[in-house]
Amino acid sequence: MNELKRVNEDDKHSYPLFLFGDLNFRLDLQSFLNRITDDTDLREDSTESTQSSICSTDGCGDLLTASSQHTNELKPLTDFRRTVSAIEFRRSPDNFTSDISTSCVLRIEKKLFDYFNHKRLLNEWQGYLEDDREAHNFPYLRELNINFPPTYPWSENPDESESLMKTRAPAWCDRVLMNARALEIVKRDKFAKYDSFGKDVCMGDHKVNDIFSVFFSFSFLKL
């Protein structure tokens, strides 16, 4: 970030800088969940695990070893710990709507993000685009407007290449960011387009994005 700041502040020696790839940007989860689980109740599935530890009988909690000079009798203390294995957002029967045929709106587990209507997440992505905020943490970087659906996580099944996987919340992980000088160059070309590709083919769980531009492709080396 210090180098990026120096490049932007040095007007005499400024040069275009691009940062692109899988930047692993994620949505603001609290805002996103509030948006898609309106009028639901949160429920938790949990398990109880036990952990044995050795403590002295006087209750002081000192651990005794074979070389200890203490003569306290040792006894195992069983500690029950509650672990949340899954959470569900459920809608009561009184709040059922025509588009939700089940009480479970969303279930989240490790490597599971099972929304009742994944097609809605894909088709109505503009409704939660404002929850994509991580790029704002880098004030010296710019980006063209996002006009494409989330780039992750897409199905890796060739027969379901146009569907999202139910493994993670959708996100715009793959980005092309740039400094102000680079943005000026890109905006000179009226045909420049910021988009993802491979929307209709299976190419892994990411749909890579790029800036499509005749100027960008053929004239950049002349600058």
* Predicted pLDDT of residue 216: 44
* Predicted pLDDT of residue 64: 31
Mean pLDDT by 10 residues, the chain (223 residues): 63 76 94 94 73 40 37 45 82 60 85 94 96 93 92 90 92 92 87 84 79 46 43
* Predicted pLDDT of residue 76: 47
* Predicted pLDDT of residue 158: 87
The domain spans of the chain are: 16-47+83-221
The DSSP string of the chain is -HHHHHHHH-STT----EEEEE----B-HHHHHHHHSTT-EEEEEEEEEEEEEEEETTSS-PPP-TT----PPEEEEEEEEEEEEEEEEE--GGG--TT--SSEEEEEETTEEEES-HHHHHHTGGGGGGGB-GGGG-TT-B-PPP-S---B-B---GGGTTSB-SSS--B--EEEEE-HHHHHHHHT-TT-EEEE--TTS--SS---EEEE-HHHHHSGGG-
